[in-house]
Amino acid sequence: MDRKEFIRLLGIGTLGVVALNQLGCSKADQQPRIDFYIDTTDPLYFSLLNTGGYVYVNGLIIFKGIDLNYYALSQYCTHQGCDVTYQVAFNELICPCHGSQYDINGQVTMGPAIAPLYQYVTEVVSGTLIHVFTP
Ligand code: FES
């Protein structure tokens, strides 16, 4: 799959992402290398202003945890690929399909999933921009 096709599949450009600087595959873990910014002043991302709020962007779930930090992980459950949700009451990611649960760093706390969710780095820059990137 070439870069253009990958970007088209991810829907990048229609989600309000400010920039996508790098895209490729890490040889170490085969996770896509991600590097983009989310502008929380964009109405698409207003939910991130609230503790427990989350959005899906480019295959990632991005949420504001109870510690007020932002987290970004693969949105796809490692069991069979359903979209996980962030449940602020439990401070965990939960898969609605078969009940797998993950901690906020993507580690499995309850199966049937076995493998963790891949975690990306988030960094708040200039107050309203969240930089999301591969570690
Ligand atoms: Fe998530 Fe089965 S797809 S638990």
Q: What is the mean pLDDT of the chain?
A: 83
**Rounded to the nearest 5 degrees, what angle is found at the Cα of 70, between the Cα atoms of 36 and 123?**
50
Instruction: Tell me if 109 CB under 6 Å of ligand 1.
Output: no
Q: What is the percent of the chain with per-residue pLDDT over 70, rounded to a whole number?
A: 78
**C-alpha 67 to ligand 1 mean position (Å):** 26
Tell me the pLDDT band of 24, cut-offs 50, 70 and 90. very low
C-beta of residue 86 within 8 angstroms of C-beta of residue 74: no
Instruction: Tell me if 10 CB under 6 Å of ligand 1.
Output: no
Q: Is the pLDDT of residue 90 over 90?
A: yes
Task: For residues 63 and 55, give the distance between their C-alpha atoms in angstroms, rounded to a whole number.
Answer: 7
**C-alpha 106 to ligand 1 mean position (Å):** 14
Instruction: Tell me if 97 CB under 6 Å of ligand 1.
Output: yes
Tell me the pLDDT band of 12, cut-offs 50, 70 and 90. very low
